[in-house]
Amino acid sequence: MKNNFYDSFFYRVWSFLFIANKKWEISKTRVGKIFQKAYIPHLTEVLTIIAVSIYWYEGLIIKYWAGFPSDWLALLCVLLALFFADKEKMVFGKAQLYLLFFYLVLVVSGLVAISQGASPAMIFKGLLLFLQFGLILFTGLSLSRNITKIVIWLSLPLGLIGIYQYLVKIPTSSLWLSPGEKLTRVFAFFGSPNVFGILMAVIFFLSLGFFLKGRKYVYLPLSFVSLFAVGLSYSRSAWLGLAISLGLCLLIYNYKYLIYLSLLLLALVLPQIRNRLLLATSASYLFDSTLDGRLWAINNGLYVFKQYFLIGSGPGSYGGKIALNYASPTYLDGLQRGYTALYFTDNQYLQLLVQFGILGILSFMGFLVASFSSLIRQYGVKKDIMTLTAIGAFSCFVVSGLFANVLEFGAIAIPVGLILGIELGETNLN
């Protein structure tokens, strides 16, 4: 059956589209040779850690420095990290090519939007917002997994702060709760429990990987802290991402172990978790969501998308904080001609669809498929547990994107881009 599959027309098309049979070494290109001269050992690692720290501890820093330019400073660190990286270790496969095409669509979409009257500042900031994920991914191609050990330890205070917030019953904003809910949702230094929960789910896979890799027991407590923090965030997006990612990892490792996934059902014994999950299926919740929630956002987003079908309305113009701050005129093209019940899509793929059209979403989906294809093939050859846990972290990011604009949150996009870049680098070098 395997031989028949490899001989099939479907596999030949799949291989042509998504499997990196040919690889491109950046150091052998003219641009790569020029920028290789800027390589400074260890500076890339330092700048990457600074960028991660800025995004993770931004909420703490601005309490003492209100004008702290966190976004710009973190982006500058990422840019310099790529500039000073070792280009000889950078090898591109099809996943990176899809991502480059995605950014090409973003640039064209932005130029068209500006020509039609959109704010250049809004478009520029929107472009930079999405660009940071690709920059750190390309940087990660030159780095080793050791840097992610620092990332894990850097996340420990976040997890502990989250647990402490739950123990002291820190007040929870009504914006984070459905009507009638009485929960303590933890968030550490972030502006949302969803961001905190998704990040902790990613860290769980990363720390678990280092524990399983060499039975390094020091990482086992870190795994429990991050897992506990995911639960206390009461983020359904993080819970779903974690559950589906665990199932995928077990399926790839050995499908017989999928039976253990049923242990997650024990969490339903806790009434807080059970009620929060059941609430999302209640008639009143769905009705409210249709009026001014995620279901309304889907209907409105698809309506706007049809008017910008090919290349979208431009970076930053819809469904996020930048669009809200700049009073984006794209909202005037919605279902109710300017009335907007929810300014955020809370769905990364819906936002990409509106902002970058069919070309943008297809190129991004091509990137996702090519990335998973490379990682799964790499695991099939080397059986490296770190590759498997990277698949878990990345799939958690992808699944959570159904309910959150994950690419907009540097606190999530930067570490996930780093993890994926490192693993794709391991894949492309073999």
The larger pLDDT score, comparing residue 229 to residue 30, is at 229
Coil vs helix vs strand at 92: strand
Q: How far is CA 328 from CA 110, 266, 297, 323, in A?
A: 13, 45, 16, 5
pLDDT tens sequence across 54-75: 999 999 999 888 888 988 999 9
Taking residues 340-360, what's their average pLDDT? Answer: 96
The larger pLDDT score, comparing residue 8 to residue 330, is at 330
pLDDT tens sequence across 150-203: 999 999 999 999 999 999 999 999 889 887 788 999 999 999 999 999 999 999
Residue-level pLDDT at 82: 95
Residue-level pLDDT at 12: 84
Q: Which amino acid is at 181?
A: E
In the chain, the percentage of residues whose pLDDT exceeds 70 is 99
Residue-level pLDDT at 281: 86
Residue 429 has pLDDT above 80, yes or no: no
Q: How far is CA 66 from CA 59, 115, 269, in A?
A: 10, 35, 43
Q: Which amino acid is at 287?
A: F
Write the DSSP string, 170-237.
----GGGS-TT-------TTSS-HHHHHHHHHHHHHHHHHHHHHHT-TTHHHHHHHHHHHHHHHT-HH
Residues facing 24 on adjacent strands: 92
Show the CA angle centred on residue 291, arms to residues 197 and 195, nearest 5°. Answer: 10
Residue 430 has pLDDT above 70, yes or no: no
Arithmetic mean of pLDDT over the chain: 93
pLDDT band at 13 (very low <50, low <70, confident <90, very high): confident
pLDDT band at 284 (very low <50, low <70, confident <90, very high): confident
Instruction: Name the residue ranges covered by the structural domains of the chain.
Output: 92-123+155-429
Distance (Å, whole) CA 428 – CA 426 = 6
Q: Which amino acid is at 422?
A: I
Taking residues 287-311, what's their average pLDDT? Answer: 93
Residue-level pLDDT at 280: 87
Q: In the structure encoding, which two tokens stand for residue 291, read together? A: 């009026």
Residue 137 has pLDDT above 80, yes or no: yes
The DSSP secondary-structure symbol of 41 reads T
Distance (Å, whole) CA 168 – CA 347 = 32
Distance (Å, whole) CA 64 – CA 70 = 13
Residue-level pLDDT at 116: 95
Residue-level pLDDT at 74: 95
pLDDT band at 17 (very low <50, low <70, confident <90, very high): confident
Residues facing 25 on adjacent strands: 91
Q: Tokens 């294809």 sit at which residue?
A: 373
Residues facing 92 on adjacent strands: 24
Residue 428 has pLDDT above 70, yes or no: no
Strand duo 91-92 + 24-25: pairing: antiparallel
Least-confidence region, from 116-120, 235-239, 288-292, 406-410: 288-292
Distance (Å, whole) CA 426 – CA 234 = 35
Those residues with Cβ within 8 angstroms of residue 22's Cβ, 6 or more apart along the chain or in another chain? none
Distance (Å, whole) CA 132 – CA 223 = 27
- Burial pattern 150-180, b for ≥16 Cβ within 10 A else e, equals ebbebbeebbebbbebbeeeeebeeebbbee
Taking residues 402-419, what's their average pLDDT? Answer: 96
pTM of the model: 0.95
Taking residues 264-276, what's their average pLDDT? Answer: 89
